[in-house]
Amino acid sequence: MRIFQSSTTSVGLLVLVLIFILLIALIVVFSHQILINLAGVDVQANIVAYVVAIAFPLILLGMIVFQIVRLIRERATRKPGSRFKSRLIMFFVLIALLSSIPQALLSVRFVNSAINFWLEARIGEALRGGLAISLEYYRGAVENLRKFNSSPLMSFILEDMDRNPERMWKNVRTVNSEVQFIQIFDADGSELLFRGEPQGRLRSLGTFDEQTGDLPKEDREDASILRNAAVYRLDGGSYTVVVGRVLPEGFDSQASSLTESLEIFSQLNRYKRLFRLVLIFFYFFFSFPIFLLSILVSFLLTEEIIRPIVNLEEATRRVAEGDFSFRILSRSADELSHLVGSFNRMVSELSHSREKLKQSEKISAWQEIAQRLAHEIKNPLTPIKLSAQRILKKYSADSGAAAGEFQKVLQASISSIVREVDNLNDLLVEFREFARLPMPRLQSVHLRELVEEVVEMYRNLSSEVTFDSSHISEDSIVRADPGHINQVLANLIRNAVQAMPKGGEVSIRSAVVNKEDRRLCRIWIKDTGSGIPEEIRGRVFEPYFTSKADGAGLGLAIVERIVFDHDGNIWFETQEGVGTTFIIDLPLGSEGGI
Amino acid sequence: MILLLLASTALSAQEARLDAMLRSGKVYAAVDYLDTHFAERGVSASQDVLASLWEGLRAEIAFQLRLYRRNSGPFAFLGDRLLSERRVYQIASFDFYENRYRIQRDDQTAGEYKGEAEFLDAFFSLPETELGEIETEEREDYYLLARVRMMPVKIIAPLNIITLFSSDTVFTTPWVEAELNP
């Protein structure tokens, strides 16, 4: 079994990074556009903004609650790593809090200071004072024109209007230097005279609703013009006299900006407390989702950090329980990945050693039994055989003439005893060979040559079985004892041939494979026989177990032992009615080692 | 935040009057914001507006008009169909130099008023405004909705955020409905 020490949380982290970028974008857009227009007439138009603003933190909060519930459940079920995970999350949250609290305090303080600074009473006084001065100046100018135009002196000055208009204009300027132009209309509204600043000239009096008194200020791009109109009756005629002045350049724009500044100041001052609260609210409104996001990231990061540790813990527990097939797969390339690799190698070596130990223990036990059995059987065999031979010899010598029926029976029986004793003796020799199998003398050998040698031998013995060894490459070199491997191949090929009494095919092929950091030569020996029945599959490598009538049951036990002695492995795949494939892994040899 | 938003809409009873007319197939509407006494503040809407203008602030009134066609038959549950909508803004200010009230409309027209009464009349009223054309015979299938949103102090951006949280910065009337008069 394998578990992945994978990085599925990386996807989650990527999603959170994207959410973070989205949040930043929202903050930028919100603060620059949406917030400014949020107070527009149509609340419904801003419904999307409201929904996003409310739903976003709620979604994040929901995800965090889900993670917390999951963590509580993990702790309740004592899931490996849950306590460590809790501590890590607490640690991350603490870091997030430690970094955000001073920032929040600083921001609130900054907002307060900024508002207090900009709304200092002196600034208000200065703005109002500026406006008062400006108004005083303006009203003074208007008053001056009004008084001058309604003064009796003006009637005298106007008497020169027809006779000497230049002198009249000179007198006006002498009496009131602030008057910059004069324009006189007759009763029909037609202009009779204009002197002074050309900017002040009116095309007609009809522009104004009220044609006497203070005329409305005329604002132009480059100037503002003040006028006062009065009606005079001279020499039986009625005249409208307009006097005026051009305000200094920039007066109007400066007065406007002063009014606007005062408006802003008054608003800020009026809603100071509320505005301060709103700013602080919006600070938390934007920073709270970021804080929630950081907590969510801490959950995923913790998961990422803890996963290999949990996997290792799980693997260690499984190995301790005897499951040596457990492996951890890691895609990352950090220190934890090296740790996982080392763990996997350790388990693999442990598993291999354990298998070898089991095999050695099994073989030793059977060797001991075999030796004792051979000794126990062999001891009485010799006297039995000698006694039988002696009886037969004595009987033949002493009663040579009295041969009869008894002689025949006795002779046949004793011959049978001797023959069976010989058979038993041969069996015991085989037992002893198994018990005394020597250690292999390893060298690099060409697998193809070994296979060809054995196949050639069996090809001559069986004409109904065909052999295919063409899939063994020339460069398949194994590190092995040639004699032992020859015995292995011979045993397996003989079994394959015997499994196909009506003929079939034995195919042998090899390939180089990588297995747990080892490079091995894998050999497949496949027959098309009847397959191994399911009930005996677990016993085929046991010594003295055989399904054949005349077998000693040591062939596959010897094969397994030889393969293990070569630091290899053997197993089989079988299907009844289809055939059996024995698979052997042997260490690779080298060309130079031959 | 929801509570704050609700607070901002909890206002004194405001009222508007809507007159809808149909002339030569064209729909016109005229709206008046009815001066209200704010019991909780001890002033009327008009006094509030004048006070803010004298303080150098500006006031804003927005008229929102909608022309609907009644939806009958199997799809009545979908609601009536909105045919046209208009929003008209008027911003009032006081010219300290000229001692006059000014009203600036969003169609770039402006008015100047010396007297308070004539200024308030102009400020709280939307003259006849065209909303669209319909078939005269189907007059009864149509109706108008209007509401007024009045700000005694036109709050400039970014201060206008506070209108979301304060109940005494914006006064909005409920929607009023009117049938089309010939």
Q: Which residues of B touch A217 (CB under 8 A)?
A: 97-98
Domain ranges (residues) in chain A: 2-37+49-118+271-319, 125-267, 361-435, 443-593
The two tokens of residue A212 are: 């006497």
pLDDT value of position A549: 66
Q: Is the peptide bond before B74 cis (omega within 30 degrees of 0)?
A: no
> Which of A39, A53, A216 is facing B98, going by the closest CB pair?
A216
pLDDT value of position A48: 66
Q: How far is B157 from chain A (nearest CA, A)?
A: 6
Nearest chain A residue to B165 by CA distance is: A278
pLDDT value of position A523: 93
Q: How many CB atoms lie within 10 A of CB A254?
A: 13
Tell if the CB–CB gap between A41 and B64 is shorter than 8 Å. Answer: yes
pLDDT value of position A399: 59
Average pLDDT over residues A405-414: 75
Nearest chain B residue to A282 by CA distance is: B161
Q: Which residues of B touch A38 (CB under 8 A)?
A: 160-161, 164
Element (H, E) at B88: strand B81-95
Is A593 touching B (CB cutoff 8 A)?
A: no
The two tokens of residue B163 are: 């209108």
Query: Do the beta carbons of residue B81 and residue B48 sit within 8 Å?
Result: no
Residue A492, burial from CB neighbour count under 10 angstroms (0-12, 13-18, 19+): buried
Is A61 touching B (CB cutoff 8 A)?
A: no
Nearest chain A residue to B167 by CA distance is: A274
Tell if the CB–CB gap between B160 and A36 is shorter than 8 Å. Answer: yes
Whole-structure pTM value:
0.54
pLDDT value of position B144: 94
The single-letter DSSP state of residue A440 is: P
Q: Are strands A504-515 and A465-471 parallel, antiparallel or unpaired?
A: parallel
Cβ density class B152-176: b for 16+ within 10 Å, e for less: bbbbeebbbbbbbbbbbbbbbbeee
Domain ranges (residues) in chain B: 2-13+39-62+75-179
C-alpha distances out from residue B89 to A158, B82, B126, Å: 49, 21, 9
Instruction: Report pLDDT digits (tens) over A532-541.
Output: 988 888 888 8
> Which of B96, B149, B163 is facing A135, going by the closest CB pair?
B96
> In B, residues 11-50, which contact A (CB 8 Å cutoff)?
none
Average the pLDDT over each of A279-283, A399-403, A415-419, B130-134 and give the range with the smallest value.
Answer: A399-403
Q: Which amino acid is at B135?
A: E
Task: List the single best residue of A267, A282, A288 to mutate versus B (max B Cβ within 10 A).
Answer: A267
pLDDT value of position B65: 94
Instruction: Report pLDDT digits (tens) over A291-323.
Output: 888 888 888 888 878 877 788 888 888 888 878
In CATH terms, is domain A125-267 a member of 3.30.450?
Answer: yes
Q: A562 CB contacts (<8 Å, ≥6 apart)?
A: A437, A440, A481, A484, A485, A487, A488
Fold category of A443-593 in CATH? Heat Shock Protein 90 (3.30.565)
The single-letter DSSP state of residue B164 is: G
Average pLDDT over residues A137-160: 90
Tell if the CB–CB gap between A263 and B57 is shorter than 8 Å. Answer: yes
Is A498 touching B (CB cutoff 8 A)?
A: no
**How long, in residues, is chain A?**
594
Query: Do the beta carbons of residue A167 and residue A160 sit within 8 Å?
Result: yes
Is A34 touching B (CB cutoff 8 A)?
A: no
> Which of A138, A267, A281 is facing B159, going by the closest CB pair?
A267
Q: How many CB atoms lie within 10 A of CB B106?
A: 11
Average pLDDT over residues B151-167: 77
The two tokens of residue A397 are: 């010598």
pLDDT value of position B148: 94
Sequence-ordered strand ranges (E) for A83-199: 181-185, 191-196
pLDDT value of position A96: 84
Helix A272-320 crosses helix A8-29 at what angle (to 10 degrees)? 180
Tell if the CB–CB gap between B165 and A281 is shorter than 8 Å. Answer: yes
Instruction: Report pLDDT digits (tens) over B84-127.
Output: 999 999 999 998 888 899 999 988 788 989 899 999 999 999 99
Average pLDDT over residues A334-362: 78
Query: Do the beta carbons of residue A185 and residue A193 sit within 8 Å?
Result: no
Instruction: Please list the residues that pair with A523 across neighbouring strands.
Output: A510, A584
With H, G, I as helix, E, B as strand and everything else as coil, classify residue B115.
coil
